[in-house]
Amino acid sequence: MNGMILIGFMGAGKTTIGKKLAQATGLDHVDFDLLIVDEIDMSIQEYFDRYGEESFRKKETLVLERSLKSNRIISTGGGIVLKERNRQLLKQMPTVIYLKTDADELIFRLKNDKDTIRPLIVSKSPEEIKEVYLPRIPFYEASATIIIETTGKHPDEISREILAKVGE
Ligand code: S3P
């Protein structure tokens, strides 16, 4: 079966669902944020502080370019759709899955995720987080070949739904 690439906002479950899909399909799983952290040898927060968002986005593009032909389950970072170049690259991938989630649920999940520091939202109010999220939605939707509504759903259910859609 072909690989899949998961897109969606922070807290959408891209990593959790990516691992589940890998388990179910036997394909390898790769997480772009982890690949980048390996390469930059520091946390994403620290990298943003030192070099800024634009430099991080360049790293993201490099990682995406390298992954184009790989047959893996890929969990992206939430900002992958921001650059036009990345959106063009996503168009070359056969299966791009947008994990779509209501803003309020995302904000709830992000507030409860104490393990990951996300520089773009760390000091933002719920309203400000919505201001980051809402303008991205058209980009996620336009980049996706499959849109999966995840609001109120358990990861197992989401993963089953995806596998049914891609025909596994
Ligand atoms: C970002 C999302 C993060 C990470 C970085 C920027 C974004 O990944 O790439 O903090 O701009 O949405 P997750 O979506 O895995 O949290």
Please state the rounded mean pLDDT for residues 44-58.
Answer: 96
Q: What is the pLDDT of residue 49?
A: 95
Whose Cα sits closest to atom 16 in ligand 1? 10
To the nearest whole percent, how much of the chain has pLDDT over 70? 99
The answer, yes or no, to whether any atom of ligand 1 lies below 6 A from the CB of 110, is: no
User: Do the beta carbons of residue 143 and residue 93 sit within 8 Å?
Assistant: no
Give me ligand 1 centre to Cα 9, in Å.
Answer: 8
Reported confidence tier of residue 69, pLDDT bands at 50, 70, 90: confident
How far apart are the CA of 79 and the centre of ligand 1, in A?
Answer: 6
pTM > 0.75: yes
Nearest CA to ligand 1 atom 15: 77
What is the DSSP code (8-state) at residue 154? Answer: -
Q: Ligand 1 center to residue 16 CA distance, Å?
A: 14
The Cα 28–Cα 124 span in angstroms is: 34
The pLDDT score that the predictor gives to residue 72 is 97
User: What average pLDDT does the chain have?
Assistant: 95
Tell which one of 14, 19, 31, 33 to mutate to probe ligand 1, the residue whose CB is within 8 A of the most ligand atoms.
33
pLDDT digits (tens, 9 = 90+) for 82-126: 999 999 999 999 999 999 999 999 999 999 888 888 999 988 999
CA distances from 8 to 46, 50, 102, 124, 126 (A): 23, 26, 11, 19, 18
> Tell me, what's the pLDDT at 108?
93
Instruction: Quote the CA–CA distance of 108 and 65 in Å, as a whole number.
Output: 33
